Chains A and B, each alone.
Chain A
């Protein structure tokens, strides 16, 4: 049993009422009045809008997703319980391996080509002595262009005829014409290229902000030692940014694993499923049939993807914990 010397302390303790110096302090009980006076009502009022927003738009859909994954429903007729049938149907779908393969290829290509681009751009920009703001603005410009507009723009670039923008430019050096989106081999890399252009700007800004936190004295000391730009990047910049680099990498992997916009708007998953991704397959389950989709299968695959990403993220964080903490 704890003893208290002050009534205020007694208010906060869960101990039994104590006798001190002959006075009996009864434990201050939480009553609605004390709760309101303590600011509880105000806290709740401030909290309510957020609780409502999260509840309605995040938690409720998640709960509904779990429920729908074990139902057969077209959202109009009454739903029927089907247990794990939706999961079995998804796992037996011959298109699933193709969608997983394409998604992995997209993520891999984006990691190999798209991941270093913002870092290189940020380092070069930070080295610039003039017009740094202009370079940042130019790098960020694609991010503010509406994605649909960007895709329409790039569709004209990717026109497979000899008069297409890219083919015309390549024609000047006697290359092409290339089929770009019209070939099963080049369609996916073409999507990665546009996606890198469209999304790199945001990461560049993150790196530029992180670079301001790197101690300039380290670069000055390296310069005194005669280090080249490359050695400074390799031995100072990258180690100093490792925390940010690890974070942007996992965010990029999660983002590319859920790629939908580019394959949907550019190719609808074609040609011949060459750009069918997991998210596009989910979309097809839900909306591919005009008579009403299979929302059960769509939500089942969504849950499988979410579970995979959660496990992958945990493993990634565990594997990189020691490095990022250095």
Chain B
């Protein structure tokens, strides 16, 4: 009997000790901090923008005490991204264009976040076409959309007025755009119309936008069997249009190597009448270029009157490094949920986000395209309506027309290679009066076809 009692007592003690040990192990595990680095703002952002980002980091860390966020300045450009990718120096959470996410995932260069993402409460509401941009051929989700844009015409209202043009009526045809550009250049001495024309794929990106607006396409088909059509008749027309503005009208100024950041800065400084970029670029104009909001105007891209004419649409995806472990992946998706996605679907988070942005004098209400559906997009905009601080009236020409335009996705096969092949053709026309347009486009087409066939 005595031995039975002793055995029972021993069992109780051992069980208690085990329980205490297990609970301490468990609490140690839950208390273990996971540190992830995340893409923050582009280099050169204003102190106010940095303060706003840091405020959001603090809010996230307060809600998730076991996750430590390390912000890393980040700007996606083709060459720097490739170098960081190869060197393994990308932050845990980083952004890539719509065009790259799927292929990066297929190549094993993005983490599989399917499990974490499908647990998000709003997962089923995503627009399937948008979600597909971050889904691999095997159906694994490797990225979530940050935002979608349509290419738009950004114009300087002040220069419009100075040139005797109506700042509420941006051009709606390419002929009118050329005429307005000429008028601005002659009346103000500033650049009437500028294009990104650098050898970093931006020249090809904007040129493709112009060709789409005329009804042309850069390729037919998908994958390595796609056929390049860079030398299509609309592309010839588009280059001739540029040639006329550059050499006959003399309305394109003297700088023909603008990249994405340069052209934003020059526009914000009041040196450019009109240029094409994504509809959401106003955020950068405020956070990195200190634009005077009163000069800003936003319109849609002029579309030719044919069935295939459309506006190029794209977007940005957010992905996770492939070497992130399970804890880092989970933390990364929590951050993506908090910072990128929830403000679009959760009223409380949308309002909190807007309040933080307003407090830091950052733009709220920049035009974008719906990631879920138009109804959700409009609903989210009603939540933040009291906080919208962008000059909505000056964006009216865009907001009233964009949903009537046909949205055309970027070339599906070897997108960046197609753009890169076009860079030299655009540069040649802008820097050589006697450039042979058909020859340039034929050469670009041949180069692009080679790269498409190799899957590069």
Chain A residues with CB under 8 Å of chain B are 74-77, 94, 159-161, 177, 179, 181-184, 267-274, 283, 286-295
- Cα-based distance from A272 to B108 in the complex (angstroms): 34
Cβ of A94 and Cβ of B447 under 8 Å apart?
Answer: yes
> Please, which residues of chain A bring their CB within 8 A of the CB of B424?
270, 272-273
- Cα-based distance from A103 to B435 in the complex (angstroms): 23
Asked if B109 CB lies within 8 Å of chain A CBs, one says yes
- Cα-based distance from A286 to B456 in the complex (angstroms): 12
> Please, which residues of chain B bring their CB within 8 A of the CB of A291?
82, 100, 103-104, 107, 416, 456
Given contacts A184-B432, A290-B78, A290-B85, 19 further A-B contacts (CB under 8 A): A74-B86, A184-B428, A270-B198, A270-B257, A270-B427, A271-B427, A271-B432, A272-B431, A286-B86, A287-B79, A288-B82, A288-B420, A289-B417, A289-B456, A290-B100, A291-B100, A292-B104, A293-B82, A293-B86
Q: Which one of A183, A290, A292, A295 contacts B431 once the chains associate, using CB atoms below 8 Å?
A: A183
Asked if B116 CB lies within 8 Å of chain A CBs, one says no
Asked if B337 CB lies within 8 Å of chain A CBs, one says no
The segment from B38-46, B49-57, B248-256, B400-408 found at the interface with A is B248-256
Cβ of B200 and Cβ of A292 under 8 Å apart?
Answer: no
Asked if B423 CB lies within 8 Å of chain A CBs, one says yes
Cβ of B431 and Cβ of A182 under 8 Å apart?
Answer: yes
Cβ of B81 and Cβ of A290 under 8 Å apart?
Answer: yes
Interface of A is mostly: loop
Known contacts: A270-B198, A288-B78. The answer to whether A76 contacts B85 by CB under 8 A is yes
> Please, which residues of chain A bring their CB within 8 A of the CB of B417?
289
- Cα-based distance from A272 to B432 in the complex (angstroms): 9
Q: How far is the CB of B442 from chain A (nearest CB, A)?
A: 12
Cβ of B254 and Cβ of A182 under 8 Å apart?
Answer: yes
> Please, which residues of chain A bring their CB within 8 A of the CB of B198?
268, 270
Q: Which one of B80, B427, B456 contacts A272 once the chains associate, using CB atoms below 8 Å?
A: B427
Q: How far is the CB of B440 from chain A (nearest CB, A)?
A: 8
Asked if B31 CB lies within 8 Å of chain A CBs, one says no
Cβ of A76 and Cβ of B432 under 8 Å apart?
Answer: no
- Cα-based distance from A75 to B254 in the complex (angstroms): 41
Cβ of A289 and Cβ of B107 under 8 Å apart?
Answer: no
Closest A residue to B85 using CB positions: A292
- Cα-based distance from A32 to B85 in the complex (angstroms): 48
Cβ proximity bits B438-456 to A, threshold 8 Å, 1 near / 0 not: 0000010001000000001
Asked if B409 CB lies within 8 Å of chain A CBs, one says no
> Please, which residues of chain A bring their CB within 8 A of the CB of B197?
270-271
Closest A residue to B322 using CB positions: A76
Asked if B83 CB lies within 8 Å of chain A CBs, one says yes
Asked if B430 CB lies within 8 Å of chain A CBs, one says yes
Cβ of A286 and Cβ of B82 under 8 Å apart?
Answer: yes
Cβ of B431 and Cβ of A75 under 8 Å apart?
Answer: no
Cβ of A287 and Cβ of B82 under 8 Å apart?
Answer: yes
Cβ of A270 and Cβ of B85 under 8 Å apart?
Answer: no
Cβ of B253 and Cβ of A161 under 8 Å apart?
Answer: yes
Q: Which one of B76, B85, B256, B420 contacts A182 once the chains associate, using CB atoms below 8 Å?
A: B256
Q: Interface residue count for B (Cβ, 8 Å)?
A: 43
- Cα-based distance from A37 to B257 in the complex (angstroms): 67
- Cα-based distance from A76 to B85 in the complex (angstroms): 8
Cβ of B255 and Cβ of A160 under 8 Å apart?
Answer: yes
- Cα-based distance from A8 to B177 in the complex (angstroms): 95
Q: How far is the CB of B438 from chain A (nearest CB, A)?
A: 15
> Please, which residues of chain B bring their CB within 8 A of the CB of A286?
82-83, 86
Cβ of A161 and Cβ of B255 under 8 Å apart?
Answer: yes
Closest B residue to A264 using CB positions: B79
Known contacts: A76-B109, A291-B104. The answer to whether A268 contacts B82 by CB under 8 A is no
- Cα-based distance from A160 to B456 in the complex (angstroms): 35
- Cα-based distance from A284 to B415 in the complex (angstroms): 16
> Please, which residues of chain B bring their CB within 8 A of the CB of A181?
257
Q: How far is the CB of B449 from chain A (nearest CB, A)?
A: 13
- Cα-based distance from A290 to B428 in the complex (angstroms): 23
Cβ of A74 and Cβ of B427 under 8 Å apart?
Answer: no
Closest A residue to B323 using CB positions: A76
- Cα-based distance from A271 to B197 in the complex (angstroms): 9
- Cα-based distance from A257 to B41 in the complex (angstroms): 38
Closest B residue to A290 using CB positions: B78
Cβ of B78 and Cβ of A77 under 8 Å apart?
Answer: no
> Please, which residues of chain A bring their CB within 8 A of the CB of B96?
290
Q: How far is the CB of A277 from chain B (nearest CB, A)?
A: 13
Known contacts: A76-B109, A179-B431, A290-B100. The answer to whether A271 contacts B256 by CB under 8 A is yes
Closest A residue to B447 using CB positions: A94
> Please, which residues of chain A bring their CB within 8 A of the CB of B416?
289-291
Show 6 A/B contacts (Cβ-Cβ < 8 Å), sorted by A.
A182-B256, A272-B428, A290-B78, A291-B100, A292-B86, A293-B82
Known contacts: A290-B81, A290-B82. The answer to whether A77 contacts B108 by CB under 8 A is yes
> Please, which residues of chain A bring their CB within 8 A of the CB of B200?
268
Q: How far is the CB of B238 from chain A (nearest CB, A)?
A: 17
Cβ of A271 and Cβ of B255 under 8 Å apart?
Answer: no
Cβ of B431 and Cβ of A268 under 8 Å apart?
Answer: no
> Please, which residues of chain B bring their CB within 8 A of the CB of A290?
76, 78-79, 81-82, 85, 96-97, 100, 201, 416
Interface centre among A75, A161, A273, A290 (most CB of B within 10 A): A290
- Cα-based distance from A268 to B256 in the complex (angstroms): 12
8 closest A-B pairs by CB: A272-B428, A160-B254, A271-B431, A290-B78, A271-B427, A268-B199, A287-B82, A270-B199
> Please, which residues of chain A bring their CB within 8 A of the CB of B443?
94
Q: Which one of B80, B103, B107, B435 contacts A76 once the chains associate, using CB atoms below 8 Å?
A: B107
> Please, which residues of chain A bring their CB within 8 A of the CB of B79?
283, 287-288, 290
- Cα-based distance from A160 to B254 in the complex (angstroms): 6
- Cα-based distance from A272 to B430 in the complex (angstroms): 9
Closest B residue to A273 using CB positions: B424
Q: Which one of A179, A183, A292 contacts B82 once the chains associate, using CB atoms below 8 Å?
A: A292
Cβ proximity bits B70-89 to A, threshold 8 Å, 1 near / 0 not: 00000010111111011000
> Please, which residues of chain B bring their CB within 8 A of the CB of A177?
254
- Cα-based distance from A274 to B199 in the complex (angstroms): 11
> Please, which residues of chain B bring their CB within 8 A of the CB of A76?
85-86, 107-109, 322
Q: Which one of B80, B86, B254, B257 contacts A161 once the chains associate, using CB atoms below 8 Å?
A: B254
- Cα-based distance from A289 to B450 in the complex (angstroms): 14
Q: How far is the CB of A166 from chain B (nearest CB, A)?
A: 13
> Please, which residues of chain B bring their CB within 8 A of the CB of A267?
199, 257
- Cα-based distance from A273 to B425 in the complex (angstroms): 10
Q: Which one of A161, A179, A182, A270 contacts B423 once the chains associate, using CB atoms below 8 Å?
A: A270
- Cα-based distance from A36 to B322 in the complex (angstroms): 49
> Please, which residues of chain B bring their CB within 8 A of the CB of A159?
254-255
> Please, which residues of chain A bring their CB within 8 A of the CB of B431?
179, 182-184, 270-272, 274
Instruction: List which B174-214 residues lie within 8 A (CB) of chain A.
Output: 197-201
Cβ of B82 and Cβ of A77 under 8 Å apart?
Answer: no
Instruction: List which B89-114 residues lie within 8 A (CB) of chain A.
Output: 96-97, 100, 103-104, 107-109
